[in-house]
Amino acid sequence: MRQNIRLLLALAAIFAIAILSAFFLGQQALKSCLWAFALVVFSGAISITPVIRSVYLTSVVSGSCAISSIVVRLIIMLFGTAGILFLTQISVLYFVLWLGVFYLPMIIVEVLIILSLANNNKKI
C-alpha cells in the first residue's frame, strides 16, 4: 500500500513538472498540455476501476480484469484523442507530445499497481 502511494506521488510530480514546463512554452503548448492531461487522467481513472473493483469484491486480481482495463483505456484514448483533435483548436504536435509524456508514466504506474495487488493476493 505504501509503495502504491509513493508511485502515485511520483506520478503527480511528473505531471506537475510537465504542466509547469508547458506554461513556459507558450499558450498553445499549455492548452494542448491541459487537454492531454485531462484525457490521460480521465482514461486512467476509468480504466483502473475494473481492477480495483475486482480486488475489493473478490480479493483476487484476475487476468480478465487487467486486460479489460487495458482495452477500456485504449478505447477512451482513441475516441478522446479523435474528439479533442476534431473539436478544439490546439496544436496537434504539442498535443501528441504531451499525450506521450503523460501516458507513459501513467501506464507504468498502473501496471506496477496491478502487479503489487496481484502479489498481495497470490491467487492469480
The per-residue pLDDT for range 13-34, each reduced to its tens digit, is: 888 888 888 889 889 989 999 9
- Per-residue pLDDT at 51 exceeds 80: no
Q: What does the DSSP assignment read for 15-43?
A: HHHHHHHHHHH-HHHHHHHHHHHHHHHHH
Quickly state the pLDDT bin for 122 (edges 50, 70, 90). Answer: low
Q: Which stretch, 49-63, 72-86, 104-118, has highest mean pLDDT?
A: 72-86
